[in-house]
Structure 1
C-alpha cells in the first residue's frame, strides 16, 4: 500500500479516523464531513473502544463464573493477579471510603490496556481489511476508506475518559465536603484571607482543570507518538521487520505503563477529592 501512494499520503491515511456525520443529504463519511460542523462521529474509535470494553466484561465474567477455590486455571490465576494488583494500589493510595473506587480502577486499567494493545497490530492489516470491505461490499475506492484502530490515539477518546474522571472528582468533592465546603476549598486556599479569594480561585480552578487535561493529553500523546513511529517504520518496506520487532518489544512495556499511570492518577485525584479537611 505504501508503494502505491506517496509517503505523506500513506501516513495521513493511517492517522485519519473513519468519520461519520449527518448532512442535509443524509449520512456522509470522511471527506463529505469536512463542512458538516461540530457533530461528527469517529466510528472506528467508538467501535474498537466498545469492542475492547465488551471483551473485558466477557473475560472477567467468564472467569468469575468458572472460578474455583481449588487449583485455578491459568486464566483465573492471571485475572486474580490483575485484581490483586489493582486492589493493592487502591488500598495504598485511596484514603476515602467508597466501594466503587476499586472496580472503577480495575475497569480503567484493563480497558485502557486493551485499547492500547491494539497498537501492536501491524499498521496495514486492519486498514487493508476495511478497504477491501469498502471496495467489494459498498463499491468504494479503498483509498477513501479509513480505519484507525487504536482508540487511545484519538484525542476525543482520551478526553472522554478524562472528563468521566473529572465528573467523579466533582461528585466526590461535593459529596464529602458539601457544596459550601467545596466552594470554600476553591476560594480560601492556599491563602486563607478573604482579600485573596480572586487569586485563590484562579489558582485552584486552574489546578482542578489541569487534572483531566493532563490525563487526556498524556495518554493521547504517548500512544499517538508510538503509533506514528510504527507507521514511519512501515514506510521503509521489506526492511521494516527488524525495526518493527524492536519497537514492538519496547512498546510492550509502554502500553501497560500508560494504563497504569492513568489508573493511578485517577485514584490519586479521587482520593484528594474525598479528603474532608
Structure 2
C-alpha cells in the first residue's frame, strides 16, 4: 500500500465513530459522542456538587478559586449583555461555557491514545471530541434556538412575535420581503452557532491527525515526536478551545437577550 493510501486510511479510520443503527440513513447513534458528552456533563455536575459541599470562605481550595473566577466572569458577561432579569440565563451560560470547554478540551489528548486503549476491548473506531461532530454542535445550537423562540413568544406574545416577521426590517409596505428576510435571519442564528463551533473543532482534530502522521512516519512507533508536536499545537489550541466556548456562550446570551426585549432589531 502506498504512503498516500496509508495516510488516507489512517485519517479515515480516526474520523469514523463507534456507532450503531442504520448509519447509511437517519437513525445512526454515535455512541462515543453520546457517552463522552454525558460523561463530561456528569463530571461537571459531580464537581459542582462536591465543591458546593466543601465551600470555605476562610480557606478556599484551588478549584474553588478557579470556579469562583469562572462564575464571576460569566456573571459579568450576563450583566453587560443581557437586558432585565432571568434566573435561567446565568446558570445556562455557565453550563454552556464549561461543558463546551470540556468537550473541546478532549481534543488535547493524543489522537491515538483512546482508540488504542479501546481497541483492547473490541472497539476499533472511536472519536473522543464531541464538538468535532456536527450532531453535537447543532443539538446545542437548536436547544438555544428553541429557547429564543420560547422567550420571544413569552415576552412579546404570539402577536408581537408574528409582527416581528411582518414588519421588520422594511416596514408594513414590504411584508413578503420582511417575512423572508426575518426568517433567514432567524434560521442563520442556529446554523452559524453550530457550524462555527463544529468547523473550528473539526479543523483542530484534522491538524492533530496530520501531526500524528508526520511523527509516526507510516504507522511506526515514534511516540515521542508525536507527543512533542501535539504539545506544541496543544499550547496554541488551548486558546482556540477556550475562545470557541466563550463565543458559543456569548452568542447564547446575545440571542436570549434579543428575545427578552420588545424593541425591534
Secondary structure, counterpart of 2:10 in structure 1: helix
Deviations 1:139-165 (A, max 9, x none): xxx6xx210000000000000000000
Could you tell me which of 213, 222, 240 is aligned with 2:200?
222
Residues 33-59 of structure 1: CA deviation (Å, up to 9, x unaligned): 444x31110000001000010111111
Q: 1:74 aligns with which of 48, 62, 67?
A: 62
Quote how far apart the aligned CAs of 1:71 are. Answer: 2.1
Contact 2:19-2:30 at 8 Å conserved across structures: yes
Residues 132-143 of structure 1 aligned to structure 2 (within 5 Å):
132-134=120-122
* Superposition pairs of residues 28-177 of structure 1, within 5 angstroms: 33-35=22-24, 37-134=25-122, 145-177=124-156
Task: Give the aligned partner of residue 174 of structure 2.
Answer: 196
Q: Counterpart in 2 of 1:18? A: 18
Report the TM-score when normalising by structure 2: 0.92
TM-score norm. by structure 1 comes to 0.88
Q: CA RMSD in A?
A: 1.3
**Secondary structure of residue in 2 paired with 1:221:** helix
Unaligned runs of 5+ in 1: 22-32, 135-141
Structure 2 unmatched runs, 5+: 217-221
How many residues align structurally? Answer: 252
8 A Cα contact 2:97 2:245, kept in partner: yes
Does residue 231 of structure 2 align to residue 253 of structure 1?
Answer: no
Q: Distance in 2 between matches of 1:267 and 1:96?
A: 12
Once residues 46 and 242 of structure 2 are traced to their aligned partners in structure 1, the CA distance between those partners, rounded to angstroms, is: 20
